[in-house]
Each structure stands twice: as structure tokens, then as C-alpha cells.
Amino acid sequence: MSAIYLDNNATTRIAPEVLEEMMPYLSDMYGNPSSMHTFGGQLHRRIEEARAKVASLINAEPEEIIFTSCGTESDNTAIMSAVESLPRKKHVITTRVEHPAVLNFCQHLARKGYRVTYLPVNNQGQLDTNVLLKEIDEDTAVVSIMFANNETGVIFPVKEILEILKERGILFHTDAVQAVGKIPIDVKNLPVDMLTLSGHKIHAPKGVGALYVRKGTRFNPYIIGGHQEKGRRAGTENVASIIALGRASELAARNLSEEIKYLSALRDRLEDTLLKCCPDVRVNGDRNSRLPNTTNISFEYVEGEAILLRLNEYEICASSGSACTSGSLEPSHVLRAMGVPYTAVHGSIRFSLSRYNTEAEIDRVIEVMPLIIRELRLLSPYGREKIVCPPE
Ligand code: PLP
């Protein structure tokens, strides 16, 4: 068995169909879509086809899709565009559990003099929309709240948020990088003003993303230069990756309901078995409102990094709730915002699945994980005292 890849919220494998479709545009078809000659100009049509496919995945209109270089660029662009559209308003609302693409951009705005409110979440990782209601004021320009959390998979109540913001003249952006292609999203039913998506989370390559901008929303480009993307995002198009994103969107839309069933069944089996086999284990995040592919599990009294290293020896890839930043173990800001106890934050592991995972792979993880936890706890002074090891 080759490596078991359960880190799909970090990035995904490029789907073979996607790779096949994009390859000619990395070799023979290398023209510039803005050229007058057919060699380049014909690519323009292919970009428009990809735009229609991406739009269709979220039930948008093709002209509402702007191609970007990644989810981060889309997030930065959306928030910057919103504050520039409403120059007299200086207040931005977001949450404490956003991805750094939003969180750090908001901190950047705070340094420039904007007032930023970071909404809390409860111990299930859920947002209380009443708190949002209390924080809104005349000065609020934009609310940016993620659709689903990358660490826990918790899905936010976007419909309720939109109800609150309705007719208040406040722009709403959602970072849907982890949600698009994993759960149904229909921007006609959920009238967000802007929505971010990213290619490498849906089996397209890294370095391509899109920003949905609702027709009629005031928009200010962030990258300024040539006339590409109708002047909304300058820079010669990443043709091959845009075509790949179109194909990946088409595949995601085609199999969405089957994939949701398949992935949630695999994920639940993994989660339920680990809860049964390993003592002192908890699931982080609201189990009733989660992405179908994600589980975030804390194994008390062991270090997440140690679990990852042991998993790595078995060629199992996952990620932990603490990121190794500049040599120090920084506990996850998401789990901390949820009030997860310190010992549980440090022992947290995120498993995130994709359509390419199999039952046999999950069986292997179920077999290996209790052994690793038992072994690590025997090494830990806390673990030795506190836990009853599962039978061998
Ligand atoms: N937003 C969320 C929720 C993410 O999970 C990520 C990537 O992990 C991003 C934004 C950034 O996307 P990209 O890597 O395409 O810049």
C-alpha cells in the first residue's frame, strides 16, 4: 500500500482527468489569450468555458467569477475591495477562527487604522449570530466569515448571517475554500456578496483560485495592470490551471451527493472506532454541522507532533492542531478559541479525506492509531498515571 493521504484540507491530489485536460496548455498550447493571432486568442474561449464550469459549481453566473492566483489572494481582494468601496466606514467584522488569509489581512487593516472585531465561537466551534448582531454598527463596512472551518470542518450559519446583514448596506464575504466542492453551495439561494474558492482543495493544482463577486456589487481590483478578467484582476492568465480548475469544478459538481455519502461514512467509521478504541479522546467541533470529510480528534496526554511522526513511519499523512512556527509549537488558534483544554489542543490530529481514500486505508489507520496512542502514553508521565490502555 502506498502512502495513506488523510490531509486533504491542506491540499489534494490533482485528479487524473484534470491533469489530462491541463497538460496541452503547459506544452503545445502556450499562447497568450490576449494575443490577436488564433494561436493565443483561441485560449480565451477555453478560459470562458472554465469560468462557466466554476460558476456552475456554486450556481453563479460566469461573469461573476474572477480567476485569481489562490484562495489567499481572493480573500485579500474581497476584503480590500469592500473597505475601498465604502471609504467612510472603518469597521471590519470577522471571527477568531478564520484562516490566516483573512485573519492576518484583518490585522494588517487594523495596523492601518481600521477597527476589527473578531467574533468568538463556542466550545463546539459554532458562531452565535446574536453576537454578530450586537457588534454591527453604522461604521461596519464588511463582514468576512468563513463557510466552513479548515481545522474542525464546522460549517457556519451563512443563511442566518445573511438574514442579519440584509438591507444594512454591509458587504458580506465568505471564505469558502474548504466548503466548495465538499457541500452544495448555491449563491442564488445564499446571496453572499463575495465568495472565495481555491483550486488545490478540489483536485486542481496549487496556485489558482477564484473570487465570486455578485453582479451589482461594487468591486475594486487589488492587482492592477493589464485588462485581463475585464480589468478586475490584472496579469496574464494561468491558462493551464484555470482550465484545470474548470474541469475540477465539473467533476466536483457531478459527484457531489455520492461523495458526501461516501466520505461521511468513511470519516464516521474512523472517528467512531477511534473514540471506542482509545480512552481520553474527544472530537473537536460540532459533529452535527461539519464537512463530510473532516474530523479533528484530541488524544489527551500525548503530543500531536509525536503522533504525526509515528503515523509518518506508517506512511499515514495527517496534520496536528499545533503548527511548528519558527521553532516553537504554536497551539491552534481555532481550538484555543473554542476553549479546548491545553492538553487536548496539543494532542489534536486532523484527518481530512478525499474521494481517493478507500475503506482499506481507513482500516489501516484504525489498526495503527490505538497502538501509537498506547505507546506514546506509556512514555508520557501524565499518560501513565491517567489512562487505561486499550487491550492489545
Ligand atoms: N482559506 C481557507 C479556509 C483555507 O483552508 C486555505 C488554505 O488552506 C486558504 C484560505 C488559502 O488558500 P490558498 O492556499 O489557495 O491560498
Task: Give the start-to-end residue ranges of the domains of the chain.
Answer: 4-10+256-379, 16-252
Residue nearest to atom 13 of ligand 1 (CA): 71
Model confidence pLDDT, tens digit, residues 243-257: 999 999 999 999 899
Does residue 141 register a pLDDT over 80? yes
- pTM value is 0.95
Whether residue 98 has its Cβ less than 6 Å from ligand 1: no
Residue 328: what pLDDT? 52
Q: Are 72 and 104 spatial neighbours (Cβ–Cβ below 8 Å)?
A: no
- Annotated catalytic residue 389: no
Q: Give the CATH class of 4-10+256-379.
A: alpha beta
**Any idea which architecture 16-252 has in CATH?**
3-Layer(aba) Sandwich (3.40)
Angle between helices 38-57 and 239-277 (to 10 degrees): 30
Q: Give the E-state strand segments of 147-291 in sequence order.
A: 171-175, 194-198, 209-213, 281-283
Whether residue 150 has its Cβ less than 6 Å from ligand 1: yes
Q: Which atom of ligand 1 is nearest to the CA of 209?
A: 15
Whether residue 291 has its Cβ less than 6 Å from ligand 1: no
The active-site residue, picked from 70, 277, 317, 324, is 324
Question: Which band of pLDDT confidence, cut at 50, 70 and 90, is reported for residue 21?
Answer: very high
Does residue 391 register a pLDDT over 90? no
